Amino acid sequence: MSSPSISNNTITANSAGDHGGGIYCYDFSPSISNNIVAFNSSGIYSSDDGTPTLSHNCVYNPDGYDYDGLSAGTGDISVDPELAGVEYGEVHIQPDSPC
């Protein structure tokens, strides 16, 4: 089983069927840290065969679930990340962002 690292990303405005949209972990165990996963069709998903380690992520306002197949990690939050430019594809954090 692979163990990649997913860190320091902003993942926004994506959609997919079933569990996709945000981060989809199937049969692997990544370290997922310091990401903003917001305004997607889903948040973070893990299959039974994966055991991701989560820390300090912001998972906000998915159409479906924040977490499926796993629980929030240490320091994870679910608050508006105060992003600007989402509608134009030029996403950046505003100065007053909790992220």
pLDDT in tens, 22-60: 998 888 889 999 999 999 999 999 988 878 999 999 999
What average pLDDT does the chain have? 90
The mean per-residue pLDDT over the stretch 49-74 comes to 91
Quick one: pLDDT at residue 27?
Answer: 84
- The whole-angstrom separation of Cα 86 and Cα 99 is 15
pLDDT of 82 higher than 70: yes
**63-90 exposure pattern, b = at least 16 Cβ within 10 A, e = fewer:** ebbbbbbbebbeebebeebbbeeeeeee
Quick one: pLDDT at residue 85?
Answer: 85
Sheet holding 53-55, edge to edge: 5-7, 31-33, 53-55
The mean per-residue pLDDT over the stretch 51-80 comes to 93
- The whole-angstrom separation of Cα 53 and Cα 5 is 10
3-state helix, strand, coil in the chain (%, to 5): 5, 30, 65
Quick one: pLDDT at residue 2?
Answer: 60
Question: 95 pLDDT band (50/70/90 cuts)?
Answer: very high
> What is the length of the chain?
99
Quick one: pLDDT at residue 56?
Answer: 98
C-beta separation of 7 from 29 below 8 A: no
C-beta separation of 14 from 41 below 8 A: yes
